[in-house]
Structure 1
Amino acid sequence: MNLHQFRFVREAVRQNFNLTTAAKALFTSQPGVSKAIIELEDELGVEIFRRHGKRIRSLTEPGKRILSSIERILDEVETLKRVGKDFASQDQGSFVIATTHTQARYALPKVLTEFTKRFPKVKVSIQQGSPGQIAELLTHDRADIAIATEGIANTPGVLALPGYQWHHVLMVPLSHPLLNQATLTLEEIAKYPIITYDKAFAGRSKIDAAFAQRNITPDIILEAIDADVIKTYVETGMGIGIVAGHAYDPDRDRNLKVIPAGHLFGNNVTHLGVKQGAYLRSFVYTFIELFSPTLTKKIVEQAMSNESETYEI
């Protein structure tokens, strides 16, 4: 048996048992993948996949255990590669961050500016996507770290580290009636059309839960994954915006006013996610501490040695 066979099995599962797409993902031929899997099954003496004709349909019971072992082996291989790279070049290499637009636009600029000063030879890549896409990039070894508010803490195999807390705010045009309210309530907000995040992004679950608890059905007329898009439509007068507080930019948002809304929608926590059992290069620890100073290398290492997938400080 060999690592190629292990990769073929893992990719076949990732591609929903489609050997053609698995072969394309691994830049090889479908017959080659099929042959390698059969040879591995022959060597192990068990069938890894259930088949219908020539097509594989699902994992057998022993196949599930074999896949679990394969994933651990391949993770250890990646760890060995990273250890070698780290000792060969402590301050250079590639660093892939998977994150949402809001984090990339508002939370990362100062952090990455300082990071690149310390590690000018490290090539940084930001991969933007939904929380689900971000988690997939991390678990499939296509990112070193994931940063998001939603999704990461619930992803198997990912250690979620608390980065920082934040609250939602309302953004309204300069002369909006809500600016005259002494106390902001959900009932008052619900009188106006609302523009806010897509359901998968930036604490939207907290917004929905707050209205649901009061049996209020808000008029959400537009959803977006990008805070800048939300603010643009608020400026047109289409509705009021509910966005992350750190998305407010005083220089850019001169035509908007901010109304704090944390008392209505509660706290949100942006998490940094790393793959459980992964080897983190030295500059990744530095990045994590720059992003959240309480997350020192010692604390991160302690969290990674814990079996829990969510770590709280």
Structure 2
Amino acid sequence: MFVETYILRLLAGFLEYGTLSTVADKLYTSQPAVSRAFKKLEDEIGTPLFERKKNRIELNEKGRTVAEYAKRIMDLQGEMMEKVSPQGATRTFSIASVAILPAMRMVQELQERYPGAQVTYEIIDNEAGVLKALNEGTADIGITLKAPRAKKYRAEKYMQERLSIALPKKHPLAKRKSIRLRELKGETIIQRSNVGFWEQVKRKKIPDATFIKHDSTKGISKLIEQSSLLTFVSNHQFDYEIPKDRKIVPLADREMNVEFFKVKLMK
């Protein structure tokens, strides 16, 4: 049996933090992604590791044993990297990105590849700002919407993202196969704070919409759960969990279906 590193990291995080929401926020992922990882681990091991209660889960005796081993493994990885890195230095990375989700994904990938690495990110709402951060050395990796033409940059396709809108099933637009942003005129919509270039697109196409923003997955999940407000949803699993009484409808605007590039300066 082989347990993937990211699952061990999440389990060690749960041992430390105690809740799915805190693990998700601290490790730059989502509660659904953490839940799926834990279920995958239980299936691989062949035994329950958690006691599942209303609105929360807890490690059972076997789960605590496995989590303690996970922590030891992650500690050993960090120790190994310190010993083999030049002068025991901790790897550091800085990311400048035009959108939040690819930055969060990059953080997770770097932390899995370099255990113990310190990774930070900045969301910049335009590509010129991302390239400036690379040029000035304040960012090691840039994430843009298109590959820069200048030869001093090395760019590669990184990921695609498509946004939809989650509405109450009784909403007049819920039966549609797709919706354009302009049709959300006058709506109140929940979203993450500091989403980068998406903000300009939304403000341009639905300037009369009201946006309720929150920094954390936990905060957004609570707002969604306690209201019937609309919310943007990514096709990737770093997002918050959507209640079963909502209908997810794709957004048809081309700006809502984009490709991101990973960019570095040529050395």
- What band does the TM-score fall into relative to the shorter chain? 0.3 to 0.5
Q: Which of structures 1 and 2 has the bigger CA Rg? A: 1
* Structure (1/2) with the larger helix percentage: 1
Q: What's the TM-score once normalised by structure 1's chain length?
A: 0.41
Q: What's the TM-score once normalised by structure 2's chain length?
A: 0.47
